Amino acid sequence: MCGIAGILSPNPQQYALPDLQRMTDALAHRGPDGCDHWRSTDGTVLLGHRRLKILDLSDQAKQPLHYQDRFTIVHNGEIYNYKELMVELEGLGIDPERYSGFAAGLGVERFCMVRHGIDDIRHFYNNDLRFLRQFA
């Protein structure tokens, strides 16, 4: 599996990207296929990801993931029932190939919002998704 790292600090001067780089370097054995970092505009949140390409080999699935300039996450995990979820997406008239990294689980949040609406995401995670996953 991939490796994720994060720093949360109320003092934006306390940590910088080189600190996060050292953390993700220590995880290089977990993600030899890619590495990227992100720092929030106020400097209080830093996220890093080491990628191990297994299902989705494209660079479109690189992390950290950003959504609407509001949310940023790093994700490590595997969704075991992604094929069934892709069939359900197609049944709703949605092309799952549009969603970068869906086979590796990166488009699941978008699917959840389409299927259940943003207010009912917990239903999806509790009932429909079989996964092993960590977030930062």
Catalogue the active-site residues: 2
Distance CA 74, CA 39 (A): 12
Show Cβ contacts of residue 67 under 8 Å, excluding neighbours closer than 6 positions: 109
Dihedral sign, Cα of residue 22, residue 133, residue 70, residue 44: negative
> Which strand (E) or helix (H) includes residue 122?
helix 121-127
Q: What is the SS3 assignment for 111?
A: helix
Largest CA distance in the chain: 49
